[in-house]
Structure 1
Amino acid sequence: MHEPLPVTGRQFEIASGPARAVVTEVGAALRAFEVGGVPHVETYDADQLPPGGAGAVLVPWPNRVADGQWVLDGEPQQLPLTEPARRNAIHGLLRHTAWTVVEHAESTVVLQAMVAAQPGWPVPLLTSVGYSVGPDGLTVTHTMENLGSRATPFGLGVHPYPRAGAAGTDDCSLRLSASTLLPVDADRMVPVRPPRALQGDELDFRTGRPLAGLLLDTAFGGAAPAPGEELVRHALTGPDGHGVQLWADPAFKWVQVYTPDDFPGRGRAIAIEPMTCPPNALNTGTDLLTLHPGETWIAHWGLTPF
């Protein structure tokens, strides 16, 4: 008989010097990342479903699709309503899929999964995610390949919960390289108006703001590298000036920030979710990417402690 597996499947640990990460088989999720024993993402037990989507890969769309409905080449599509209370399809199709390990070395693991053609998603895609730890922290590489016979739109996001070591979330400050905010319906969390420019109000995090007292489940757009830079950079900083930077390729033009107060073992936590497109992009078309038959797309993001 096989030994029973935890609900997140096999656990793949990678390490380089003091840096260590753990990735799950189910969902290819980042379950832990630490340097010198100092945690830089919120973690959870291997035998529980990732709380609040922790560490998940969100593909072939991040965030929400209103009513699970969209149209491809004039053909109406109906996705399963995986957020039924709000009548939405949420966070893609692979969060509860067992991914296949295609490489596992001391400091690197690469997992692969198929987005099969299915009701609501008619074009098959092959996707992989590679995690690597090294002196600069954690680097994550995503690929998408269109295995079908026609072009398809798509989006990609990830759902890490960074943490500034032992510091409490309310003792930290947040800085975002984002210049707009997307107004959404408070009940359904789907867009109701175009993005608005941030103008120094309490939700403008471009120069850093304390998180104490802020309740966020907010999509920010206009995420772009600073002048002279090549990468988008967001940062969570603890009261001692140390923390973690989340960097991403310019393809990640959006970032969702979510501050639950019930993360297991921590209470208040913060998700900083780089996304290539905003909520409901399969309907609005905003910043959707397109893959033609046989085409491959690659993008990177990562975490760097400081």
Structure 2
Amino acid sequence: MGAGRPTGEQFEITNGAARVVVTEVGASLRVFEVGGVPYVTTYPETDAPPLSAGLVLAPWPNRVRDGQWSFYGEPQQLELSESPRRVAIHGLTRTIGWQVLERSTEAITLGVLIESQPGWPVPLRTSVRYALDADGGLTVTHTVLNVGDRTTPFGVGVHPYPRAGHAAAYECTLQLAATTNLPVDPERLLPNGPVAPLAGEDFDFREPRELDGMLLDHTYGGCVPEEDGIIRHRLVGPDTGVEIWAEPDFGWVQVYSTTGFPGASSAIAVEPMTCPTNALNSGIDLRELAPGESWAGSWGLRPMS
């Protein structure tokens, strides 16, 4: 562990003018910049990731109601990691150290074992590979392997705060590939209704919309790939923009805007997910892995001119 750092050792990769810094604890994407221009909202290496910035969310993203779910009829109780809302949030890998599996100048792969534990009965081995291409784009690839002896459900998400260069989030426009919304109650941010098609609501971003002053903590689904089979969301500022792309398995996206990110006047999280909040109970888009079976999926960030 890096001395005095809550995120442990810091791992840097570069390709030309592009630079990424990933943390040992939580495998957080702490820095992504090209030519000194930032494309994620960063935080100091001496701090824990504020507001889950850049973290890998596995084996489930977002929240689980009361930390309770049923593993094929067996009641499970997860730690209430967001205790004020009485929920388990963002999986089991955010606060543990990941091991370096492979490393080069342009790429790094980190891995961790999610052990069987109270609330999670089947061990999983998961990894994340960060790779920079020659054009300054970042590709992030996740794998999950069932190393237990029973079939298990799972989900994967990530929590980046993309940034359009030096612009604050509220100076930007946002466009999402999402076509549906999963409504949640404002107090616990848990589903309180069925998935519904977007129909021009204030939080509908099928067309670019200005973020100025908007308060968002919304779960979006039905993300439609473009002709090349890739889902694309876009955050665009006065001088530059960033594309948040994902393979079709990441058919959900959580969007969270805040003025509480340390050192930033405003920031926005655009979080690709394979399933929505409380999916361990609803079953919506949960994936299953048989013993010895694995899954892989990719997303990434790319500067826009």
Structure-1-length-normalised TM-score: 0.97
Which residue type is aligned with residue 107 of structure 2? T
- Could you say if the C-alpha distance between residues 3 and 261 of structure 1 is closer, same or farther in structure 2, counting changes exceeding 3 Å? closer
Partner of 2:81: 82
How many pairs does the alignment contain?
Answer: 303
- Could you say if the C-alpha distance between residues 98 and 3 of structure 1 is closer, same or farther in structure 2, counting changes exceeding 3 Å? closer
Partner of 2:43: 44
Helix, strand or coil for the counterpart of 2:233?
A: strand
Distance in 1, Cα, partners of 2:44 & 2:103? 22
Aligned mate of 1:277, from 275, 278, 286: 275
Which residue type is aligned with residue 71 of structure 1? S
Which residue type is aligned with residue 120 of structure 1? G
The CA deviation string for residues 25-54 of structure 1, in whole angstroms up to 9 with x for no partner, is 000010000000000001001111100000
Partner of 1:140: 140
Partner of 1:119: 118
Helix, strand or coil for the counterpart of 1:85?
A: helix
Helix, strand or coil for the counterpart of 1:270?
A: strand
Structure-2-length-normalised TM-score: 0.98
Partner of 2:211: 211
Helix, strand or coil for the counterpart of 1:294?
A: coil
Which residue type is aligned with residue 79 of structure 1? L
Give 1:3 deviation, angstroms: 7.3
- What does residue range 97-112 of structure 1 map to in structure 2 within 5 Å? 97-112=96-111
Whether 2:22 is the aligned partner of 1:23: answer yes
Contact 2:203–2:216 (Cα < 8 Å) also in 1:
no
Which residue type is aligned with residue 304 of structure 1? R
Give 1:239 deviation, angstroms: 2.0
Give 1:15 deviation, angstroms: 0.0
Distance in 2, Cα, partners of 1:7 & 1:279? 27
| Structure 1 segments unaligned to the other structure (5+ residues) | none
Helix, strand or coil for the counterpart of 2:203?
A: coil
Task: Give me the identity figure in percent.
Answer: 57
Partner of 2:198: 198
Distance in 1, Cα, partners of 2:185 & 2:280? 17
Give 1:171 deviation, angstroms: 1.0
Contact 2:131–2:140 (Cα < 8 Å) also in 1:
yes
Helix, strand or coil for the counterpart of 1:259?
A: strand
Distance in 2, Cα, partners of 1:107 & 1:29? 17
User: CA RMSD of the aligned region, Å?
Assistant: 1.0
Partner of 1:35: 34
Structure 1 consecutive aligned stretches of length 4 or more whose deviation exceeds 3 Å: none
Which residue type is aligned with residue 43 of structure 1? T
| Structure 2 segments unaligned to the other structure (5+ residues) | none
Give 1:184 deviation, angstroms: 0.5
The CA deviation string for residues 90-149 of structure 1, in whole angstroms up to 9 with x for no partner, is 000010000000111101110000110001000000000000112241000100000011
